[in-house]
Structure 1
Amino acid sequence: MLEEPNNWGRWGAGDERGALNLLTPETVVAAAGCVREGRALSLSLPIRGATSSPAPTTVPHLRGRPLPQHFMSVDGGDYAAGTRPIGAGLKMADDALVVTPHGTTTHMDALCHMWSGDELYNGHPAGRVRSYGAGRCGIDKAGPVVARGVLFDVPRLRGVERLDAADRVGVDDLEAAGVEVRPGDVAVVRTGWPLAWRDGGPEAYWAGQPGLSADAGRWLAGRDVSVVASDNAAIGGLNEHQLADEGLDDDLHMIFLWRHGIHLAEMLWLEELSETGRTDFLFVAAPLRIEGGTASPINPLAVL
């Protein structure tokens, strides 16, 4: 059993959902009270084009990761020859989509994504994570997320368009937002880092990334959030080698996924949400039911 504060055993020895257990019917009903305008915003980056075209390189992603591949048969130029006739002169276009979520598109990490030693979150055996899928704590165990979202718009608080690559979001930044954090909330942290791709291209984006500090991560975990989401690629910061500088004890994935069972949503697009000035909203996201998956692409929504 871990010595540092954690959620192991809190929802039973067999639990595989972690802090998502905080999303009780009462919590969801209360979260719906954040809807005051009836307007929905997508918080997702686009999945764009095939790797045979330059389209995917126009969307932020980590260097060296397999890019999403979207093939269509309608023009006869990709994975199938022509369209498929379905009678009466009608034709049907088909799609094929290949996505490796981590580092390439908006996604949610499963609790089996990272661990230490021989145990996953809650003491489940890490040996159950195999090439054919994880037998425990896969993304299929998460289910839909309907919760109150709270935005920590750190660049806006600091009076800048986006944070610098070396910046780390501390407890003082979170407290300065003046946001009341309730059990079950989805904590959404804006760094503005996708704008680095827009302003300077891939090399600027790959120069490092801002992110949460370990103390800020513990601050959020101590307030019983159900999910932590951000517009960067790893929740925590990255150096120019796209690696975290923190040791194992301070690694944000270990703090959230392994110790507290808090799912992570990464690579969101938060610019339109920032422009609204809203700090609370209804957050909705549904990972695909990929049995034993370490992650799933998602299209999170902020309902204002």
Structure 2
Amino acid sequence: MMKRPSFKDLPLGKDDPPYSAWGLYGPKDELGALNLLTEEVVKKAAEENIKTGVRISLNLPLDVFKDKPFFNRQVFHKDLYPKPPRNVNDDVWHFNTQSSSQWDGLRHFGYQAPRKLAFYNGVTMDDIHAEGSTVNGIHAWSDKGIVGRGVLLDFDTWRRKEGIEYDPFKTSPIPLKYLKQIAEAQGITFRSGDILLTRTGCTKTYLAMSPEERVQTASPNPVAAGGVEQSEEMVEWLWENEFAAVGGDQPSFEAWPTQWKEKDFLALHEVILSGWGMPLGEFFNLEELAEHCQKTGRYTFFVVSEPCNVIGGVASPPNILAIF
């Protein structure tokens, strides 16, 4: 595998946006950080982590936010109808691909003003909306999937033991020093190609709410939510650990709205998605996973996720399993 440049060498192009790695895998690449998931990396992850055959879904139901989706997205809707005279049923689903558990794709969130307005590898909004364009579509990820070693950092359990207050529905940045302490406490050593998952207790908190509380929580736009901190140190840590993908149980993997004032309110979404081409997962269901990790003392596992094969799609349900 090629050696990646160090963080201090970013951006790779002198006129490219902050921390970007455009061209690292070629000017037409649409896999980004998934290039780290080589056959050797996936084989080793499977051999080391599939031991018992226990399988745990990390998907929330597609209609989980039926009371009020976050970010003013559309509600999932299902039409079920019979097909007489045969004893047959069909159904039709209508949904926003980001209205439940999701992978954000490379068409979703580009670099924002005052920076160069572009998506991964310099793709522009005009490029994406050109007739017949498929560039940076989610279909590129469905071919081989997002498959490798998953690592859970269970912030919610750790912070309760440490007596740290945290509200997942306030703009509550989780400091990088906490993630490092959790990794040490769980005995985690990261390696290239890991799929990082952070559990904040967000979905657990949401599911315990009344319908009225859910509507109130999801109605503000932008929504207030906890997540990892926005900082240059966090970006460096994510890059140097060579994660293939990141995700969590939050509305936004990072604390939202962004608090990164040093770089004109630069968001991690900009760097992760548009700078590196790294899948960014949100609203994953990590409750059963966390329970199993605590029970077994294992915080690494095999991840299998296949985004939907929609040509030119922006995002996708993850269709994701953790296998032990």
TM-score over 0.5 for the pair: yes
Q: Is the 1:108–1:287 contact (alpha carbons within 8 Å) kept by the matching residues of 2?
A: yes
CA RMSD of aligned residues (A): 2.4
Give the aligned residue type for 2:283: M
Gap change, CA 1:26 and 1:6, over 3 Å in 2: same
Matches within 5 A, 1:57-136: 57=67, 61-62=69-70, 64-73=72-81, 82-86=82-86, 91-102=87-98, 104-116=99-111, 117-130=116-129, 135-136=134-135
SS at match of 1:56: coil
1:37 to 35, 42, 52: 52
8 Å contact from structure 1 (residues 188, 228) kept in 2: yes
Letter in 2 for 1:70: K
The worse-fitting range, judged by mean Cα deviation, of 184-193 and 111-120 is 111-120
Distance 1:84 1:7, change over 3 A: farther
Q: Give the corresponding residue for 1:292.
A: 312
Q: Relative to 1, partners in 2 of residues 1:43 and 1:154: Cα closer, same or farther, differing over 3 Å?
A: same
Q: 1:125 to 1:288 in 2, by over 3 A?
A: same
Q: Distance in 1 between matches of 2:125 and 2:17?
A: 19
Aligned equivalents of 1:83, 1:131: Cα separation in 2: 39
| Residue 21 of structure 1: how far off its partner (Å) | 0.6
* Structure with more helix by fraction: 2
Amino acid at match of 1:127: D
Give the alignment partner of residue 302 of structure 2, picking from 277, 282, 286.
282
| CA shift for structure 1 position 267 | 0.8
Any residues of structure 2 matched to 1:205-224 within 5 Å, and which? 208-215=224-231, 216-224=234-242
How far apart are residue 182 of structure 1 and its match? 1.0
- Shift of the alpha carbon at 1:168? 1.4
Indicate the residue corresponding to 2:8 in structure 1: none
TM-score, length-scaled by structure 1? 0.84
Correspondence 1:188 to 2:203: no
Letter in 1 for 2:311: E
Match status 1:172 vs 2:182: no
Distance (Å, rounded) in 1 between the aligned partners of 2:123 and 2:54 = 41
Aligned residue for 1:41, secondary structure, equals strand
Letter in 2 for 1:150: V
Q: Do residues 56 (structure 1) and 66 (structure 2) align?
A: yes
Unaligned 5+ residue runs, structure 1? 50-54, 74-81
Task: Name segments (4+ residues, structure 1) moved above 6 Å.
Answer: none
How far apart are 1:181 and its partner, in Å? Answer: 1.4
Indicate the SS of the match to 2:152.
strand
CA contact (8 A) 1:287 1:297 kept: yes
Contact 2:42 2:149 in 1 (8 A): yes
Q: Percent identity?
A: 28
Whether the aligned pair in 1 keeps the contact of 2:22 and 2:275 (CA below 8 Å) is yes
Deviation, structure 1 residue 133: 7.2
